[in-house]
Amino acid sequence: MNVRNTRREFLGFAAAAAASAGLFTRTAFGRSLADKPALLGGSPVHLGGWPQWPEWRQAWEPSILEVLRSGKWYRGSGDKVQQFEAAYAKLLGAKRCLATASGTTALLVGMHVLDVDAGDEVIVSPFTFIASYNAVLMLKALPVLADTDPATLTLDPASIESRITERTRAIMPVHIYGMPCDLDPVLAIAKRHRIAVIEDACQAWLAEYKGRMCGTIGDLGCFSFQNSKHLPSGEGGAITGNSDSLVDRAASFHDCGRSYGTFTGARPNFTRGGNFRMQHVQAAMLLQQFDKLVQETARRRENADRLTAALRDIPGIQTVRLPGDSRAVWHLYPFRYDAERFQGLSREKFLRAMRAEGIPCSTGYQEQYFDGLLDEAIGSRGFKRLFTAQRLKQYRDSFRDLPGNRVVCATTVAIPQNLLLAEPRHVDHIADAIRKVQAHAAELAKA
C-alpha cells in the first residue's frame, strides 16, 4: 500500500496542540480544536496523503504478459475470461457469471434478456451513477424514478408500487456506494406484479444482504470493474445469476447473437446481439485481485465501523442506516450533513474546509433528472413515438415528487474508499477534521 506520511504531520499537530493547551477539547491524538482551520491558514489535520488507487503489483505482470504473448486476446480464443467467470461466480455464490465489456453493457444485456423492450418502463433508483438511467434509455425504455430513503440512501421500497404501470417490466435497485438496498420488500413487490428485479451492484462487490451476496439475489445482478472500482481492470463488467437459461441468453446477446448453451437456434447467429465481450487481459487483471479484494473489503469494513462510531457523537452528522443483517463494502463512505448544527456553514464551504484539512470529500449524486439528459431523451423522435404525450408529461412532472431524494442530494457528503484503506489512526483524522471544522464553523461561514 502506497501511503505517504511524514513526521511533520505529528510534529505540526503537537506544536499547535501545545500552543492552545487547556483552551479547547483535545482529540484522541493530542490535536486541539483551537487550531486554526487550514482554510484560514492553520495546519491541516491530515498531511501525507492517502493510499493511492488503483494499485498495480509487479507480481501480476507474468500472467498479463502470458496473455499478450499468446496472441489469444479475444474471448473466442484463449480462456482467461472463462476462468474469471467461473471464479467470480464461486466467489459470490452465484450459479453463473458472464463477463462483459463494462457495467453499463452488463445492465443493457441483462435488461434485454429480462425482456425490457422499446416502450417499456423500468423503475430505477434515482440516487445513482447516470449509467443506471442511461442503460434503460438505450433500450428505448423509460427509467421511472422511485424515491430514495434518506436514512439508507437507497431505494425506498414504499415508493415503488405507486409507480408501476402496465408497461413496467423491471425494477432496478442500486446498491449505491456498496450499501445493500433493502431487497426483500422489492422482491415481494416484483413477485406480486410479475416483474423482474435487476440489481445494479456495480459498486457492490462482496456486499451482503441477509447472508447472500448482492448481485445474486434478484433475477440478475450487474457489476462494474472500471478503473475506480474495488476490483478494477480499467473497464469491464459482469452479469451474475442463478438461471442457466437467462445467463445463456445473455451470453448469446453479448456475443453477436451466437447460439450459447441452452439457447440454440439457427447457427451461427440466430438472434439479435452485439459485441459486449470482455478481453482476456482484463480477465487476467481481475483474476489476480480476488484475495486483495477480500482483504481490503475486511479492512474497509473495520475502518468504516470505527469512523461510524466516531461520527455518531458529532451533532449535525447523520451516519447511514444499513438494512437489517446486511454488510456494506463502502465504495464511498457517505453521511448526511446538517448545516444548521454547523452555524449555518453551507455544505459547499464545509467540503472546502474539509479538503483543506487533508480530507478528500465530495457531495453525493445530484438531482440529475433536472440536468437535461432525461428531457433530451423524452423529447427525441423515438420516445415520442413510443409514449403518449400525456405519459411523457406525467413522467416529467414525477421528478418533482422525489422528496427523499431531494433531501439526500442536498445534504450528503461522501468520503472516497481509499481513505478506508489507511491505518486506523489516520482514519480517525476524518472525525477530527469534522470536529475542528465544527468548532470554527462561524468563522468559516464568514470566510
Ligand X SMILES: Cc1ncc(COP(=O)(O)O)c(C=O)c1O
**Interface residues toward ligand X, by CB under 6 A:** 102-104, 128-129, 131-132, 174, 200, 202-203, 224, 226, 237
* Helix residue ranges, H only, 289-447: 290-311, 347-356, 373-378, 381-386, 389-397, 403-411, 424-439, 441-446
Choice between 226 and 259, CB closer to ligand X:
226
As measured in angstroms, the least distance from the Cβ of 237 to ligand X is: 5
Which lies closer to ligand X via its Cβ, residue 263 or residue 333?
A: 333
Closest residue to ligand X, based on beta-carbon distance: 103
Alpha-helical segments (H) within 217-367: 244-254, 280-287, 290-311, 347-356
The nearest distance, CB 331 to ligand X, in angstroms, is 8
Min CB(25)–ligand X separation in Å = 39
Torsion of CA 260, 263, 267, 272, to 10 degrees: -90
Minimum distance of ligand X from residue 203's CB (angstroms) = 5
| Cβ distance to ligand X smaller for residue 102 or 259 | 102
**In the complex, what is the shortest distance from the CB of residue 186 to ligand X, in angstroms, rounded to a whole number?**
16
Q: Closer to ligand X at the Cβ: 145 or 345?
A: 145
CB atoms under 10 Å from CB of 294, counted, come to 12
Please list, in sequence order, all residues whose beta carbon lies within 8 angstroms of the beta carbon of residue 325, skipping any fewer than 6 positions away: 209, 210, 211
**3-class DSSP state of 405:** helix
Between 129 and 253, CB nearer to ligand X: 129
Q: What is the rounded distance in angstroms from the CA atom of residue 326 to the CA atom of residue 315?
A: 26
CB nearer to ligand X: pick between 199 and 432: 199
How distant is the alpha carbon of residue 399 from its chain centre?
22
Of 174 and 183, the one with the shorter C-beta distance to ligand X is: 174
Cis preceding-peptide flag for 54 (omega within 30 of 0): yes
The CB-of-55 to ligand X minimum distance in angstroms stands at 19
Please state the closest distance from residue 364 (CB atom) to ligand X, in A. 12
Residue 299 near residue 75, CB atoms below 8 Å: no
Q: How far is the CB of 211 from ligand X (least distance, A)?
A: 23
Strand 362-363 and strand 412-416: pairing?
A: antiparallel
Angle at 360 between CA 353 and CA 293, to 5 degrees: 160
Question: Which cell numbers in the block locate residue 290?
Answer: 480476488
Could you tell me which residues come within 8 angstroms of residue 303 by beta carbon, excluding any fewer than 6 positions away?
419, 420, 421, 422, 424, 427
- What is the distance between the alpha carbons of residues 83 and 77, in angstroms, rounded to a whole number? 13
**Residue whose CB is less far from ligand X, 27 or 104:** 104
Tell me how far, at minimum, the Cβ of 97 lies from ligand X, in Å: 15
User: 143 forms bridges with which residues in the sheet?
Assistant: 122
Eight-state DSSP code of residue 433: H
Given the complex with ligand X, which of 140 and 175 has the nearer CB atom? Answer: 175
